[in-house]
Amino acid sequence: MNALQRLFRFNGGVKPDYHKEPSTHLPIAVAPTPTLLVIPLHQSIGGPPRPLVKAGDGVLKGQRIGDADGNVSSAVHASTSGTVVAVEMRLMPHTSGLSAMCVVIEPDGRDEWVERNPFDFRAATPTATRDYLRDAGVVGLGGAVFPSHLKLNAGKQGKLDTLVLNGAECEPFITCDDVLMRERADRLLKGAAIMREMLAASRVLIGIEDNKPEAIAALEAASAGNIDTTIQVVAVPTRYPAGGAKQLIRVLTGIEVPHGERSTDYGVQCFNVGTAFAIYEAIALGQPLISRIVTVAGNVGQARNYEVLFGTSMRDLVALCAPLPDTDRVIMGGPMMGFRMPSDDVPVVKATNCVLVGSQKLFPQPPPEMPCIRCGECAKACPADLQPFEMYWFSRARIFGKAQEYHLFDCIECGCCAYVCPSRIPLVDYYRFAKSEIWAREVEKDAADLARDRYEFRLLREEREKQEKAAKLAAKTAAGREKAAAALAEAEKPARTPDEEAKHALIAAALERAKAQKEQVHPENTGNLTAEQRAEIVAIEARRAEIREQAKPHLRQDD
């Protein structure tokens, strides 16, 4: 069973300095409960959850405070018991520096759990299990925060060849998965066993970069005692980004999952080891996801991993580690892919695997960007086998169509290209810019299509009204038909017999009715208001309030 696993390789990649040592000396500590928790409602990919509480409500630890909005979404929970002091816009742990709806909880210090019951997933239908996980707020902890219940679906065949657990942790500084594997290997493996069962996977491969011998040893020890022999720990060569899901799948199985396709269609699925642990907690203990392990590293006196409640301010967390005086920024994530936070007063969320404290000395401002000399270094480093300079060339000039032709959306934003570029071009920034522009254009295009439909509809309506008027006029006058025809001819294009005209008007009216039903917004702007319209106006009022609300912080930070 433990035959030597054949390893494959992916192209590109880089070997930056790892800086992992300092945060692994001490075991995981539990970060103290802060005086105020700010829990953003929107913490995962998908629709923003709807708030279930309002200011003044009391909540228990693990109580659901935000309900998943549809299936592609995930619930959020109170990290401790206390009182909701506000549901309001708060600064998000997001580079934009914008705010979003958060539930602000003042802990009561009792740390009182809601009722917890293990979930018997074997007895439940797969759909029920997935709904349970969605409501338990389990999302991927490897960084992408994709709702895990959606990934726990074996796909077309109903079973998988390989479940990959991602313990590579290839980014410098981050060690949260490392210490998790060291300290909680057995529970992690139980989670893995649950996932294997749910996915009907024939085997589980846990890929760990070979610079983490302790974690490998711990997992091997734990799996030795385990009856589930399908779980295998594999050391993979240390090379960033070996932890990228596609890269790790490639290394472990030789399969390359193309962009835009589901890995389950290739018989593999990949989860972060932390996710496996979270699934264990949710299923076996009935605990929703309310905390995670976060590495605090970088420009601090004592780097360390903490178990942190979501909603804890990063400032409080960093303060535990004796930040050095020249600290000038806080980064969520690692140095290769992390995001600079607008302030250190943003909450830790499910995506926070690391709070990296930075300074000019540690992460100096790169020298000015020079023009790309097409040296091809970036292409050599790109793990997705892209031509980064071509994507850059066209993104820079805002020729997004071309950038897409060079597979912009295959880029995993790993940062290898920018890392090696002799011209110090912030390549990834250009890709992020291009991607978000392309998305925005799609939205704009939809809006334009909507406007076109509505405009055409209005023209049709005006046309019909004109015709109706003409018909009335015709009916009134003695000359009747002749004049009506003349009036119609004026209103419409030439040469239509009155018969056709009438038919046309009928069709138009029918069309309009159908359209009006479809739109559900009744743009009949005459006569008295229907209940529907009243409701519409109320809804609009609410939206307006929201817009104004959103506008305020934005205007503030604009300059």
Partner 1 sequence: MTSYLFIILGAVLVNNVVFVRILGLCPFMGVSKKLETALGMGAATTFVLTMACGASYIIDAWLLIPNQLEYLRTLSFIVTIAAIVQLTELVIQKTSPVLHQVLGIYLPLITTNCAVLGIPLLNVSLRHNFLESLLFGFGSAMGFTLALILFAGIRERLEAADVPVYFRGTAIGMITAGLMSLAFMGFAGLDKFK
Partner 2 sequence: MLEALLVMALGAVVLGAALGYAAVRFRVEGDPLVEKIDAILPQTQCGQCGFPGCKPYAQAIAKGEAEINQCPPGGEEGIHKLADLLGREVKPLSAEHGIEKPKSIALIDEQTCIGCTLCIQACPVDAIVGAAKQMHTVIAKQCTGCELCLPPCPVDCISMEPIPESVESWKWRYPVVRIVPADKAAA
Partner 3 sequence: MNNSPYFLKPASVQSVMMRVLLALIPGIAVYVWFFGAAVLVQIALASVTALLAEAAMLKLRGKPVMLFLGDGSALVTAWLIALTFPPIAPWWLTVIGVLAAIVIAKHLYGGLGQNPFNPAMVAFALMIVAYPSLMSQWPAVGFTDFMPQWNAIFGTRQLDAITMATPLDALRTALHTADARATVAGVLGNDATFGNIGGKGWEWVAAGYFIGGIYLLQQRIITWHMPAAFLATLFVISGGFALYDPTRFVGPSFHLFTGGAMLGAFFIITDPVSGCTTPRGKLIFAAGIGLLTWIIRTFGAYPDGIAFAVLLLNIAAPLIDMNTQPPVFGHKRKGGRPS
Ligand X SMILES: Cc1cc2nc3c(=O)[nH]c(=O)nc-3n(C[C@H](O)[C@H](O)[C@H](O)COP(=O)(O)O)c2cc1C
Closest CA to 279 of 143, 174, 165: 165
Size of the site for partner 2 (CB under 8 A): 55
Q: Which stretch binds partner 3 (CB under 8 A): 207-215, 256-264, 437-445, 481-489?
A: 256-264
Candidates 131, 135, 437, 512; binder of partner 2 (CB under 8 A) is 437
Separate counts of helices (H) and strands (E) for the chain: 16, 17
- CB proximity list for 31: less than 8 A, separation 6 or greater: 294, 306, 307, 308, 309, 312, 316, 317, 320
x/- letters, 344..373, toward partner 1 (CB under 8 A): ---------------------------x--
Question: Which stretches of 347-493 are assigned E, i.e. beta strand?
Answer: 354-359
What does 425 interact with, of ligand SF4, partner 1, partner 3, none (CB < 5 to 8 A by kind)?
ligand SF4
When asked if residue 222 is in the footprint of ligand SF4 (CB under 6 A), the reply is no
Three-state secondary structure of 238-273 = CCECCCCHHHHHHHHHCCCCCCCCCHHHHCEEEEEH
- CB within 8 Å of 264: residues ≥ 6 apart: 153, 154, 155, 156, 160
Q: Looking at beta carbons only, is 82 or 140 nearer to ligand X?
A: 140
CB nearer to partner 3: pick between 265 and 519: 265
Site map for partner 1, 402-431, x if CB under 8 A?
x-----------------------------
Tokens for 227, please give them. 């009856």
**What does each C-alpha distance from 439 to 337, 399, 430, 433, 435 come to in angstroms?**
21, 14, 14, 10, 6
Of residues 266 and 394, the one with the C-beta less far from partner 1 = 394
Residue from 96, 157, 202, 497 binding partner 2 (CB under 8 A): 96
Q: Which is nearer to partner 3, 115 or 558 (CB)?
A: 558
- Of residues 508 through 537, those in contact with partner 2 by CB under 8 A are 521, 523, 525-529, 533, 536-537
Interhelix angle 185-199/213-224, rounded to 10 degrees, is 70
Task: Report the residue from 26, 322, 375, 397 that binds partner 1 according to the rule CB under 8 A.
Answer: 397
Least distance from C-beta 75 to partner 3, angstroms? 29
Q: Give which of partner 2, ligand X, partner 1, none residue 447 binds (C-beta under 5 to 8 Å, depending on kind).
A: partner 2
- State yes or no: residue 396 binds partner 1 (CB under 8 A): yes
- Which CB sits closer to partner 2, 159 or 543? 543
Specify the residue, 157 or 436, whose C-beta has the smaller distance to partner 2: 436
C-beta of 432: minimal distance to partner 1 in Å?
Answer: 18
Nearer to ligand X, 275 or 299 (CB): 275
User: Looking at 42, 61, 77, 130, which residue binds partner 2 (CB under 8 A)?
Assistant: 42
CA atoms of 373 and 484, how far apart (whole Å) = 73
In whole angstroms, give the CA distance from residue 253 to residue 9: 10
User: What's the half-sphere exposure (Cβ side, CA atoms, 13 Å) at 303?
Assistant: 22
Other C-beta atoms lying within 10 Å of the C-beta of residue 124: 14
Q: Which stretch binds partner 1 (CB under 8 A): 16-24, 89-97, 389-397, 446-454?
A: 389-397
Q: Which helix (H) or strand (E) holds 325?
A: none
Q: Is 555 among the residues that bind partner 2 (CB under 8 A)?
A: yes
Q: Which tokens go with 427?
A: 């390549």
- Measured between alpha carbons, how far is 60 from 113 in angstroms, rounded to an integer? 6
Could you say which residues in the range 352-371 bind partner 2, by CB under 8 A?
Answer: 367-369
Question: Which of 175-183, 228-236, 426-434, 461-469 is the region at the interface with partner 3 (rule: CB under 8 A)?
Answer: 426-434
Least distance between ligand X and beta carbon 120 (Å): 23
Q: From CA 148, how far away is CA 533, in angstroms rounded?
A: 40
Asked if residue 539 binds partner 1 (CB under 8 A), the reply is no
Query: Which helix (H) or strand (E) is 305 found in, with range?
Result: strand 304-309
Q: Is 426 exposed, middle or buried (0-12, 13-18, 19+ CB in 10 A)?
A: middle
Q: Which long-range contacts (CB under 8 A, 24 or more apart) does 495-503 make?
A: 501/467
The residues in 344-373 that bind ligand SF4, with binding defined as CB under 6 A, are: 372-373
Chain positions 139 to 198 lying near partner 3, rule: CB under 8 A, are 172
CB 456, min distance to ligand SF4, A: 13
Contact 187, 277 (CB under 8 A): yes
- Does 236 participate in binding partner 3 (rule CB under 8 A)? no
Contacts with ligand X, residue ranges (CB under 6 A): 140-144, 146, 166, 168-171, 177, 241, 243-245, 270-272, 275, 337, 412, 414
Residues forming beta bridges with residue 313, ordered by sequence position: 347
Nearer to ligand SF4, 355 or 416 (CB): 416
**Does 457 sit near partner 2 (CB under 8 A)?**
yes
Query: What's the rounded Cα separation, in Å, for the pair 141 and 533?
Result: 44
The identity of residue 244, as a single letter, is G
CB 78 within 8 A of CB 86: no
Burial of 175 (0-12, 13-18, 19+ CB in 10 A): buried
Binding residues (CB under 8 A) for partner 1: these are 371, 393-394, 396-397, 399, 402
Binding residues (CB under 8 A) for partner 3: these are 8, 10-11, 14, 16-17, 95, 172, 246, 250, 253-259, 261, 266, 329, 331, 333-340, 358, 362-363, 365-368, 370-377, 379, 383-387, 389-390, 406-407, 410, 415, 418-424, 426, 428-429, 432
Binding residues (CB under 6 A) for ligand SF4: these are 372-378, 381-384, 386, 388-389, 392, 411-417, 420-423, 425, 427-428
